[in-house]
């Protein structure tokens, strides 16, 4: 018979800080927060609430793996920890660093239609500038080079949306099977099927159900239901109104992204109905 105070037993059951066994590596404005919060509905998932920026920030990385572990939430051995830092996806050094920590880690990338994502990215930066009372360029001026009238690939919001460029770097280290692509547009419109695909990818028993998610008409987004008494919508900074963008610029960007998208579908084996 095991007594509650049996020191061995207490030790075995005690929650510990575990390194993540899955990472949401990006992409910025893809819906990374919604994905993390929704996966956290699963009893076997424990989220790192903050973005730790361990692998993309040289100073943090230099602090070492024990520092990273120390940032993790306490969890039980049967649970998996998930961290998300959206800049991981586009940062050169990150795949190698993650590989060195755990070469069999599961990677999640959530993407949205590239032009929408770029506008969302712009909207976030614009909001920051407005808060500081700074003037800022229009999206059209940043996304299209004035002299050449071509898409400006130096603009970060454009570069980040060339998903295939970044993905190819990851595939130098990780086999495609270790990386799962989440459809961020579908996570907005109908999240459950996307979450079920992730459960399967992470080899978790199906536990997230319709009853965990409800559409909040005021927010215009799905919110989370943890119990009868505890509901939660994402912060107001998620689901911003985007500025209207000149139709010809949208068209130009969509044409520009098209060949990169085709390559992305080919590599991931997942086709999206992006225009």
| 30 makes contact with ligand A3P (CB under 6 A) | yes
User: If residue 221 lies in a helix (H) or strand (E), which one and from where to where?
Assistant: strand 221-225
Q: Closer CB to ligand A3P, residue 69 or residue 186?
A: 186
> How far apart are alpha carbons 16 and 181 in whole angstroms?
29
| 120 makes contact with ligand A3P (CB under 6 A) | yes
* CB 191, CB 222: distance < 8 Å: yes
| 22 makes contact with ligand A3P (CB under 6 A) | no
Question: Concatenated DSSP letters for 17-62?
Answer: E---SEEEEE-TTSSHHHHHHHHTTSTTEEE-SS---TTT-HHHHH
| 85 makes contact with ligand A3P (CB under 6 A) | no
| 34 makes contact with ligand A3P (CB under 6 A) | yes
> How far apart are alpha carbons 15 and 83 in whole angstroms?
17
Tell me the chain's radius of gyration from C-alpha atoms.
20
Q: Closer CB to ligand A3P, residue 28 or residue 106?
A: 28
| 212 makes contact with ligand A3P (CB under 6 A) | no
Chain residues 54-73 in contact with ligand A3P, contact rule CB under 6 A: none
Beta-strand pair 106-111/179-183:
parallel
Q: How far is the CB of 184 from ligand A3P (least distance, A)?
A: 6
Q: What is the distance of C-alpha 177 from the center of its chain?
A: 18
Q: Closer CB to ligand A3P, residue 46 or residue 110?
A: 110
Total number of residues that touch ligand A3P (CB under 6 A): 17
- CA dihedral (192, 193, 198, 203) in degrees, to 10, reads 100
Of the ranges 1-9, 26-34, 53-61, 262-270, which one interacts with ligand A3P (CB under 6 A)? 26-34
Q: How far is the CB of 136 from ligand A3P (least distance, A)?
A: 17
| 160 makes contact with ligand A3P (CB under 6 A) | no
> How far apart are alpha carbons 251 and 214 in whole angstroms?
34
Q: Closer CB to ligand A3P, residue 86 or residue 95?
A: 86
The mark string for 171-200 relative to ligand A3P (x by CB under 6 A, - otherwise) is ----------------xx------------
From the number of C-beta atoms within 10 Å of its C-beta (0-12, 13-18, 19+), residue 161 rates as buried
Q: How far is the CB of 221 from ligand A3P (least distance, A)?
A: 3
- Only one residue has tokens 């559409």, namely 215
| 114 makes contact with ligand A3P (CB under 6 A) | no
| 88 makes contact with ligand A3P (CB under 6 A) | no
* CB 178, CB 107: distance < 8 Å: yes
Residue 80: DSSP 8-state? E
Q: How far is the CB of 55 from ligand A3P (least distance, A)?
A: 17
Q: How far is the CB of 122 from ligand A3P (least distance, A)?
A: 10
- Give the binding site for ligand A3P (CB under 6 A): 28-34, 86, 120, 187-188, 221-222, 234, 238-240
């Amino acid at each position: 018979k095991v007594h509650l105070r049996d020191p061995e037993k207490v030790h075995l059951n005690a929650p510990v800080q575990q390194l993540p066994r899955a990472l949401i590596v990006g992409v910025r404005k893809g819906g990374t927060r919604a994905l993390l919060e929704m996966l956290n509905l699963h009893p076997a998932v424990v989220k790192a609430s903050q973005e730790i920026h361990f692998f993309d920030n040289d100073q943090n990385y230099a602090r070492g793996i024990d520092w990273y572990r120390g940032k993790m939430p306490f969890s039980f051995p049967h649970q998996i920890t998930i961290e998300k830092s959206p800049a991981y996806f586009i940062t050169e050094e990150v795949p190698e660093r993650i590989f060195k920590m755990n070469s069999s880690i599961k990677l999640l990338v959530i993407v949205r239609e590239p032009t929408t994502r770029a506008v969302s990215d712009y909207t976030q930066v614009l909001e920051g500038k407005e808060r500081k009372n700074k003037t800022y360029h229009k999206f059209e001026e940043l996304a299209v080079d004035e002299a050449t009238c071509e898409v400006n690939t130096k603009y970060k919001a454009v570069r980040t949306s060339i998903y295939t460029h970044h993905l190819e770097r990851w595939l130098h280290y990780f086999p495609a099977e270790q990386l799962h692509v989440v459809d961020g547009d579908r996570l907005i419109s109908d999240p459950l099927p996307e979450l079920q695909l992730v459960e399967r990818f992470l080899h978790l028993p199906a536990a997230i159900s319709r009853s965990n998610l409800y559409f909040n008409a005021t927010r215009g987004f799905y919110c989370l239901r943890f119990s009868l008494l505890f509901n939660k919508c994402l912060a107001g900074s998620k689901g911003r109104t985007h500025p209207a963008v000149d139709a010809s610029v949208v068209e130009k960007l969509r044409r520009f992204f098209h060949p990169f998208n085709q390559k992305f579908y080919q590599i991931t084996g997942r086709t999206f109905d992006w225009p």
